[in-house]
Amino acid sequence: MANPKDSMASTWRTADKSTWSTHHHIIDFINAHHTDLDKPIPVFSKQDKIPHIPQLTQHLWILFYAMIPLGIHQALLSVYPLGLGRLAAFTLYFITFNAIIIREVHILRRLAHKHGFLDGDVHGRDGVPDVGVSRVAKSLYKTTGSRLVLATWMSYNQSISPFDVMSQPSWWGWLFLEIGLYGIVLDFWFYWYHRAMHDVGGLWKFHRTHHLTKHPNPLLAAYADHEQEFFDMVGVPFMTYVTLRAIGLPLGFYEWWVCHQYIAYTEVWGHSGLRVHLTAPSTLAWLLEMFDANIVVEDHDLHHRKGWRKSHNYGKQTRLWDRIFGTCIDRIESSPQNVDYVNTGDMPIF
């Protein structure tokens, strides 16, 4: 007999709002829906060309929004010259982190009504399930908050301002390298933890909730049990930080903040299911491309759609470790001959 808690039925958006809880109202108030109910979603066949979205437009989007809290932080120092304490810094970056994620979801919804969804000729996207509204609403702040608690605890120094580091040309050079390496190293730890969740019988119970969706949307990126949330949001970033430090690249707070923006951006895109050919933005994307190790939206979408207890495409930032350990699966709509590099899309900042 099916467990009611496993239901992916999503009817609450059209239900009487008097039946809604606070969490329903929160999601609706921030307008974090993956589609507008009154607008059509275009449907394409698997053979229709899929538009490419270049790396540059994504880098510009991420860096534009990542710099906003750094600018606010620097401006506040004119009022608080002794620097922002850990709690104040956490609050500033926590609020802006959530605002950036919500902004990304808004733009992805706009793009969905333009480009449609992968596998859209067979199945629509899953909505936030009726039984999971509370879980999803809470995940919005847990995803960002836990990562920032770790970052402020391990790397924040209130005597160092954003201007102190950003005024040094060498900082930008190291940031360029760290953005690329952070995604690759993080994906190594994520790959093996994620694969273990599938391959080790006793661990699957902590991951199966996330796989209840076969056609995820951005808000389902963190639809998971507490154990998975901890490793996704704390365990894997911690191991990545320690690894980079061990090889001589200790992340300061500001570069870790920027790296977090790249990771979160790709996580949200990876669960969007948008029918575009978009490789995860990285300063080392050119190197990954040499080994056909860049990840695209369809890769993680196929992990959900075709995988369950046994799966493939375990990486979430790259396909490097899937390539090395033989767990890639062929793309369908994003196959090389199906990508349109002429009529490209973009990631609009506004």
- Model confidence pLDDT, tens digit, residues 52-78: 999 999 999 999 999 999 999 999 999
Share of the chain above pLDDT 70, in %: 99
Tokens of 99: 């605002």
Please choose, from the candidates 307, 343, 344, the residue with its C-alpha nearest in 3D space to the C-alpha of residue 322. 307
Q: What pLDDT shows up at residue 1?
A: 58
DSSP state of 125: P
Written as six digits, the tokens of 145 are: 């908050």
Three-state secondary structure call for residue 203? helix
Tokens 């046994």: give the residue. 310
pLDDT tens digit sequence for 195-252: 999 999 899 999 999 999 999 999 999 898 888 989 899 999 999 999 999 999 999 9
Report residue 277: phi and psi, to 5°.
-100, 100
Bridge partner list, 50 = 339
pLDDT score, position 3: 79
Q: What are 323's two structure tokens?
A: 């390539």
pLDDT value at position 68?
98
DSSP per-residue letters across 250-291: PPPHHHHHHHHHHHHHHHHHHTT-BSSEEBPP-TTHHHHHHT
pLDDT of residue 6: 84
pLDDT by residue (tens digit) across 181-202? Answer: 999 999 999 999 999 999 998 9
Hey, is 67 helix, strand or coil? helix
The tally of CA atoms less than 13 A away on the side-chain side of residue 121 is: 6
Q: What number of CA atoms fall less than 13 Å from residue 271's CA on the CB side?
A: 23
- State the DSSP code for 82: T
The ranges of the chain with pLDDT < 50 are: none
Domain boundaries along the sequence of the chain: 48-340
Q: Spell out where the chain has E strands.
A: 50-53, 277-278, 339-340
Any bridge partners for residue 117, and if so which?
274
Which 3 state secondary structure label does DSSP give 3?
coil
Measured distance CA(11)–CA(17) in Å, rounded: 12
For residues 204 and 181, give the distance between their C-alpha atoms in angstroms, rounded to a whole number: 29
Instruction: State how far the alpha carbon of 82 is from the alpha carbons of 79, 104, 292, in Å.
Output: 9, 34, 48
**Nearest alpha carbon to residue 210 among 277, 109, 126:** 126
Spatial contact of 249 and 235, defined as CB atoms under 8 Å apart: no
